[in-house]
Amino acid sequence: MRIKGLDAARGTAIVFVVFGHVWRGLDGQGLVEPRLFETIDRAVYLFHMPVFFLISGMLFKAPETLRRGLSRSAVNLLWPMCLWAWVEGCVHLVTGAGNKGRISPFEVLIYPFPPKSVFWFLLALFLFQAAAMVLRGRLAATAIAAASIAVVVLAQPQGLTGQIVQHAPFFFVGLLAGTRWLEKGLPLAACLAAFVLAEVVAYTLTVTPFETVPAYLCGFVACAGFLGLCLSGPAFVRKLGERTMPIYLTHIIFAAGMRVVLTRLGLKDVATVVLVSTAAGVVLPLFLYEISRRLGMAGILGFEPLRKRRADDKTITRNPALPELVEGPSAGRRA
């Protein structure tokens, strides 16, 4: 049974993803008061990416054959990662935008390796799925989640490795949790209280996601509360959640472009820049997706899966959570 509320959760979370990158871009331009920036940034990053990993784990089921599962995940996750990293690299080559300014053609060629910008998520999701396919069972998932938290707390890994290890517990806890606990819905008042409490505690303890056990506890509670609040989301938000892949892959280009244009035109009102840039990062990718779909190019552009579930493969779900990574943005029937 498909839980439509998970689409609403994805749709809401992807808006926060776009907002988060616009917010950080404005901070990079020195347009946001530092204390305000840090407060909102920590609040958003406590849940917006973890909830995608949590949903991915909740919806994941191992394939009948390891080879088929790995090849499907590689094509549907690593190909879009490379393609849109190259596109982003070309934007830097032509415009000189970004922290490094103008880059060379060789740097464009190697731009996906290691993943930069938002593309680390796709590599992380591939690695988590691969681990779940190879090391099956609840005991293995529990061990990976616990070991990941231990590594983060004790070793404090940084960079790409840090990002991946920090988010591993959410995928594997999601895998352990499944979806049954959401099927009948959750009390809204309790979910709101849990979400607010997690954010307040995280703010009070000044925890940085994710470096400590309290940070993880706050993150898990915030994600559970967020899911409960989103389960009864409206139809247009659910529809947005079915199309998170094109938004995730391309929102940086549209949102950052709009932010730069507005600020260079002299618009200094932060709220207006955030609103317009976030809207551009959500809506314009949807237009791009619709055009690609009508041209029959959605699959090759990574917006829909190039390799879908075979009809006789009854134990493979649609891929997890970014969107419907295995069965496409408008699919989503649970096996």
CA distance 20 to 57: 23
pLDDT band, very low/low/confident/very high, at 316 (cuts 50, 70, 90):
very low
pLDDT band, very low/low/confident/very high, at 99 (cuts 50, 70, 90):
low
264: its two tokens: 């260079």
Predicted structure pTM score: 0.90
With residues binned 3-state (H G I as helix, E B as strand, rest as coil), the percentages for the chain, rounded to 5, are 70, 0, 30
54 CB contacts (<8 Å, ≥6 apart)? 170, 171, 173, 174, 177, 223, 227, 321
Kindly report, residue by residue over 176-193, the tens digit of the pLDDT. Answer: 999 988 888 899 999 999
Sorted by where each begins, the domain ranges of the chain are 4-294
Mean pLDDT over 114-140 rounds to 96
pLDDT exceeds 50 at position 311: no
Mean pLDDT over 118-146 rounds to 97
Mean pLDDT over 236-260 rounds to 95
For all residues of the chain together, what is the average pLDDT?
Answer: 89
Selection from 181, 261, 169 nearest residue 219 by Cα: 169
